[in-house]
Amino acid sequence: IVNDESINFNKEDIAKNLTLFLYPDDSDEDGRLLRIYQQYFMVSNAARLILDECEAKGSNLHDLYDYAVIQINDTHPTMVIPELIRLLTERGLSMDEAIDIVSKTCAYTNHTILAEALEKWPMSYLEKAVPNLIDIIKELDKRVREKYEDESLYIIDDDDRVHMAHIDIHYCFSVNGVASLHTEILEKNELNNFYKIYPEKFNNKTNGITFRRWLMHCNHELTNFIEELIGDGFKKDATELEKLGQYIDDKNVLEKLLKIKFDNKLVLKDYIKQHQNIDIDENSIFDIQIKRLHAYKRQLLNALHILHLYHELLENPNFDMEARTFIFGAKAEPGYYLAKCIIKFINSLAEKINNDPRIDNKIKVVFIENYDVSKAELIIPAADVSEQISTTTKEASGTGNMKLMMNGAITLATLDGANIEIFDQVGEDNIVIFGLSANEVLNYNKFGGYSALDLYNSNRVIKRVVDDLVNGFIPNMEKEGRQIYDSLITYNDEYFVLRDMENYIEAQEKIDRLYKNKEKWNEMALINIANSGVFSSDRTIAEYAEDIWFKGCE
């Protein structure tokens, strides 16, 4: 939650801010130190609770791993490893045994390949915030150095930074990614040096969603209709949604599905009118991109395509396209300036397009104010198109893609994260795929060869929309527009927005053609719903339990 207090609070007031809100702005030293204090506060309390509960249940702590598994969710809770070791030695165990026990108790889930998201804390910060852990962290690093000569495996690097993910990988018994491609990239590329020495640790657990919230709670009309068709077994076992497949050719079912979507669009329309005073057309395509604002998620690609459509309509008022309402929901990390520039770009674009009578309301753009999960519950049931357009290899999994699919939206996607598994579930005729392949992106990253400037100079469509960032076409964007322009042209478009743009425009044209045939569109929607059950978190949790938490148990 972002409010005035969270923006202006005193980061040095540690006692007050420990539990005020998570993920404070870490663009300065005080913010980074506050994050470390928060992380340690959380894991230390959790570790003490775990040890006390296990002892209450009969553990002598020498057998802690028979009573508990601690799943470290990304690198933020990594300090639970040295803290547990410290607490165990306090309770009488030797350092050797404490390290061995913790290594058999902790498991690590990696959620990203983005380097900036894998925490690396300067030792000086840790010495200030958690001095009681320093000797243990150094001991853990010493043991790695004694065993391996490869410096890339060390916990403390030459710049005296502590690599939290390295602690996790060395001192956890399991390391998992959260989608098949993500895990493959970890094994073959990003963590290949670790995979070579610990191949038995690596495994995949594709993320899932709480479908009882993201279908049953937020889309009552669709839930009731599904129950009429196949009974209520799907409420306990989401894979029973597969039974909907028998209705693919039933026109009455498809028409009812269309009506349910229309009803949900009316609800969202009323909300947007009431809260943001924007009139949208319930008969238009509701094109949805709701996710954290980050350059790799490429809200910018979406916005540049909107700008392209706007130009096409201005040049040719008879331009043939279905009316389209583009809806964004996103927040940016407090210190992420480029992301904030993109938010302003989308809102400035919306202001210009939504008030231009020349395009006859063929396009509307809405940036949902103060987006949160409660607003997602309104948006997702109304979605026609699910924008999952991250730079291939960058999205670990995604879960919004699963929520939107389960509510009958058609996925427009790169073959990234769990989009691949959605593709596998529904087949190529029921999803729209575009963009660079994983191998193409990895080869560009490894060998170079990509020039955004060449694309800019050779492609009229690309040049037109990129120039609009800095030529005054979009009002009040001088500073922010230059920042976005530089990210694309001066710094060579790190996330291949321009490289994928032409293909993305073609994919959007395909969406437009598909939507014109409502019966076919509704058939695709039903196929997506019917094949979404595998993405239930029930399945994910069962896999964690079977393969990690209770592995080897009778």
- Please confirm, yes or no, whether 251 is among the known catalytic residues: no
Angle at 302 between CA 439 and CA 182, to 5 degrees: 30
Q: Confirm whether 516 is a catalytic residue.
A: no
Would you give the end-to-end CA distance of the chain in angstroms? 44
Assign 67 to helix, strand or coil. coil
Q: Is 62 a catalytic residue?
A: no
pLDDT band at 117 (very low <50, low <70, confident <90, very high): confident
For residue 478 the two structure tokens come to: 């001088």
* C-alpha to C-alpha distance for 303 and 293, rounded to whole angstroms: 12
Segment 502-543, tens digit of pLDDT = 999 999 999 999 999 999 999 999 999 999 999 999 999 999
Among 213, 292, 352, 464, the active-site one is 292
Annotated catalytic residue 292 = yes
399 is catalytic: yes
Buried b / exposed e across 292-325, counting CB within 10 Å, b at 16+? bbbbbbbbbbbbbbbbbbbbbbeeeeeeeeeebb
Residue 184 clears pLDDT 50, i.e. is over it: yes
Question: Do the Cβ atoms of 321 and 285 come closer than 8 Å?
Answer: no
414: annotated active-site residue? no
CA distance 210 to 533: 11
Is residue 62 within 8 Å of residue 101, measured between CB atoms? Answer: yes
Residues in a beta bridge with 107: 71
Q: Are 418 and 207 in contact (CB under 8 A)?
A: yes
Which residue's entry shows tokens 């690198």? 75
The pLDDT-based confidence of 8 (bands split at 50, 70, 90) is: low
pLDDT digits (tens, 9 = 90+) for 361-402: 999 999 999 999 999 999 999 999 999 999 999 999 999 999
Kindly tell me if the per-residue pLDDT of 15 is higher than 70. Answer: yes
Query: Which residue has better confidence, 260 or 20?
Result: 260
Distance CA 273, CA 348 (A): 18
The string of DSSP codes covering 400-445 is HHHHHHHTTPEEEE-S-TTHHHHHHHH-GGGSEE-S--HHHHHHHH
Which pLDDT does position 92 carry in this prediction?
Answer: 96
**What global pTM score does this model have?**
0.94
Q: Which of 399, 411, 414, 540 is catalytic?
A: 399
C-alpha to C-alpha distance for 119 and 362, rounded to whole angstroms: 45
> pLDDT tens across 406-429, in order?
999 999 999 999 999 999 999 999
Average per-residue pLDDT in the chain? Answer: 95
The residue from 76, 291, 305, 364 that is catalytic is 291
- Phi first, then psi: give them for residue 517, nearest 5 degrees: -100, 90
pLDDT for position 4: 42
Q: How confident is the model at residue 552 (pLDDT cuts 50, 70, 90)?
A: low
Q: Does residue 114 surpass a pLDDT of 90?
A: no
CB 19 within 8 A of CB 42: no
Tell me which residue of 17, 95, 81 sits closest to 43, measured CA to CA: 81
Each residue of 466-507: pLDDT tens digit?
999 999 999 999 999 999 999 999 999 999 999 999 999 999
The 8-class DSSP code of residue 390 comes to P
List, for residues 276-292, the tens digit of each pLDDT value. 999 999 999 999 999 99
pLDDT category at 2 given cuts 50, 70, 90 is very low
The whole-number pLDDT of residue 5 equals 44
Measure the CA–CA gap between 399 and 206, rounded to whole angstroms.
10
With bands split at pLDDT 50, 70 and 90, how would you rate the model's confidence at 317?
confident
Catalytic residue among 32, 35, 86, 111: 111
Question: Residue 3: pLDDT band by 50, 70, 90 thresholds?
Answer: very low
- Both tokens of 95, joined, read 């350092």
What are the φ/ψ torsions at residue 377 (nearest 5 degrees)? -65, -25
pLDDT for the residue numbered 6: 46
Spatial contact of 73 and 146, defined as CB atoms under 8 Å apart: no
- What's the rounded Cα separation, in Å, for the pair 241 and 223? 11
Give residue-wise pLDDT tens across range 118-143: 899 999 999 999 999 999 999 999 99
d(CA 244, CA 235) in angstroms, rounded, equals: 14
